[in-house]
């Protein structure tokens, strides 16, 4: 029947030994991207939460920062987090910065999210 050529023995094993780490690395990169994307969404939501809390008529920057930190404590997925809320009489701005979980070493997987909105104010009926 079929005779095997001796010069090709073990070729498949060598190919698998070379390609398997490459395939595994690509799978790790796909999972890493998912972790980074989730961290970005968490940072965006925390910044929006900070602005929503600080923009009410009796809100301030400290309340916004506390709201963002509370949200981040529940959501997780970020390390080395910094939250900065700027409250001006007409505008509230929040910035959340943190590091996404790192599965693939050697890369910086940080995220930054910003959100801004005007401060709500009460206008009496006769002035509308």
pLDDT digits (tens, 9 = 90+) for 40-75: 999 999 999 999 999 998 889 999 999 999 999 999
- Give me the pLDDT at residue 62, please: 96
pLDDT in tens, 87-118: 998 999 999 999 999 988 888 899 999 999 99
Instruction: Count H helices and E strands in the chain, helices first.
Output: 2, 3
Nearest by Cα to 95 from 54, 55, 43, 53: 43
Report all structural domains of the chain as residue ranges with CATH numbers, in order of start: 8-127 (3.30.1300)
- Judge whether 109 and 39 are in contact, CB under 8 Å: yes
Q: Report how far residue 124's alpha carbon sits from residue 70's, in angstroms, rounded to the nearest whole number.
A: 34
- Judge whether 111 and 43 are in contact, CB under 8 Å: yes
Neighbours of 103 (CB within 10 A): 16
């Amino acid at each position: 029947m079929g005779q095997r050529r001796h010069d090709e023995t073990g070729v498949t094993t060598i190919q698998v030994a070379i390609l398997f780490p490459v395939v595994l690395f690509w799978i790790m990169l796909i999972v890493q991207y998912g972790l980074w994307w989730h961290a970005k969404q968490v940072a965006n939501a925390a910044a929006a939460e900070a602005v929503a809390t600080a923009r009410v008529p009796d809100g301030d920057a400290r309340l916004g920062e506390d709201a963002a930190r509370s949200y981040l404590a529940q959501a997780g997925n970020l390390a080395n987090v910094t939250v900065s809320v700027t409250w001006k009489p007409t505008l509230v701005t929040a910035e959340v910065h943190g590091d996404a979980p790192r599965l693939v070493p050697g890369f910086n997987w940080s995220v930054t999210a910003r959100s801004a909105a005007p401060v709500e104010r009460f206008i009496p009926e006769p002035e509308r």
